[in-house]
Structure 1
Amino acid sequence: MNKEVLNLKIIILGNSGVGKTALINRYTKNKFVPQANVSIGSDFLCKLLTVNDQLLNLQIWDTFGQEKHNALSGAYYRNADCCILVCDLNDKSSSDMLNQWYATLIGSTCEKSAGPIPIVVVGNKIDVDLKKRRVTMDHIMKSFDDNTPCYETSAKDSINVDELFFIVAKKALEQHRNDEAFSSG
């Protein structure tokens, strides 16, 4: 096993209120906070894990409400190894915005990489009554490549959260290795 810790930057995008902070807190702290306070700024939380015998430090960046003001800076996107696009399955407008978030991501990422930044699409809040659901993952995925991983999650009930971040870590590690090969080639 490679004992050197590799830092990977993960960014999470989506409308305010879709559960981005809740997902990060559930994964990094195994804690659910029903209503996170919205503030302006960005920060990241970290979690160590091992993927393919490589010790990783996932730096998971949260926007803390900046999406309301459309004020995400280039520093937020810079050097990201993977992106999680999140919508609320009970709010159709948040799923309709995923394409716009994706376009913003593509337009803001630096040309440091061997290819486009990998994404994982998430429909959050599956813990809410199925009768209240306003959107399906099939509808969401029509806008994305068939190879794009997608998950239905619940930060509240801790459903598929660990699985989501494990796949994100694998994609980020792969992107990092491709970027290294691209830079040295």
Structure 2
Amino acid sequence: MEMEKKLKKRKYFLKMIIIGDSGVGKTSLIHRYVSTRFIQEFKPTIGAEFSTKEIEIDGNLVGAQIWDTAGEERYQSLGVSFYRGADCCGIVFDRSNRDSFEKLSQWRKAFISQGAPEDQEEFPFIIIGNKSDLTNEVLIKRSEVEDWCTQYGNYVYIEASAKDNISVEEVFETLMKTGMDRQIANPHFPKKMSAKGRSLHLNQKSDRKDDSKRDGCCGS
């Protein structure tokens, strides 16, 4: 029995993409998860950059490469370079910004078009409503977002706040679990990282630069 348990354990290498409008808090969410700190001031992401995180889920070791992509329109054509080979994708909107919510379908469409996943209908998206700490703002209702999720693919929806550290771990661990499930269900894709690539990515600890030196804004 003990041998069976050992045989069932494995190591997963996941490529996770975080997309959404500029200023919705993608960088803040990733930084809060990877470093456990919140820094409000950021320069807008140029192109894309990634951080790494290694944790254990259900007894399996998971090495995640978390890609933070630019939300500005001029960089969106670069998506084809960053989305390919992704195991899962989180689309972030600002709960106090209706325009960012209304662009969810646009971001989903762009990811599918540029990332070209083989399982387009079943590809795992997680919808993330950030900035739930803004209690004095008019926030988009959960029921409205859940209706959108049902319409487009019964996606999981999580309300979060990078600033107050609300549901941030839930966001990324849910993404990891959906990515793991996809690899189990479809072992022939996406293509695995090379041994050299795995070593490079996972030997980098929480590898963001010192964000305390950044300025600009990406919100909470």
TM-score, length-normalised on structure 1?
0.88
| Residue number in structure 2 paired with 1:153 | 160
Query: Does structure 1 residue 132 correspond to structure 2 residue 122?
Result: no
Aligned-pair CA distance for 1:143: 2.0
Letter in structure 1 aligned against 2:130: N
CA distance in structure 2 between the partners assigned to 1:39 and 1:182 by the alignment: 29
- Write out aligned runs for 1:16-165 (5 A): 16-63=22-69, 65-69=70-74, 70-113=76-119, 116-129=122-135, 131-145=136-150, 147-165=154-172
CA distance in structure 2 between the partners assigned to 1:111 and 1:34 by the alignment: 33
Point out 4+ residue stretches in structure 1 off by more than 3 angstroms: 1-5, 111-116
- Secondary structure, in 3 states, of the residue corresponding to 1:71? helix
Give the greater-gyration-radius structure (CA).
Answer: 2
| Residue number in structure 2 paired with 1:177 | 184
Q: Deviations over 1:141-178 (max 9, x none)?
A: 22223742111100011000011111111101011122
Larger proportion of strand: 1
CA distance in structure 2 between the partners assigned to 1:76 and 1:163 by the alignment: 24
Aligned-pair CA distance for 1:72: 2.9
| Structural RMSD (CA) | 2.1
Aligned-pair CA distance for 1:3: 7.0
Identity %: 33
CA distance in structure 2 between the partners assigned to 1:62 and 1:111 by the alignment: 19
- Secondary structure, in 3 states, of the residue corresponding to 2:67? strand
Q: 1:114 to 1:71 in 2, by over 3 A?
A: closer
* Equivalent residue pairs, number: 181
- Secondary structure, in 3 states, of the residue corresponding to 1:13? strand
CA distance in structure 2 between the partners assigned to 1:159 and 1:43 by the alignment: 24
Letter in structure 2 aligned against 1:125: K
- Secondary structure, in 3 states, of the residue corresponding to 2:72? helix
- Secondary structure, in 3 states, of the residue corresponding to 2:46? coil
| Higher RCO (CA-CA < 8 Å; seq separation 6+) | 2
Which runs of 5 or more residues in structure 1 are unaligned? none
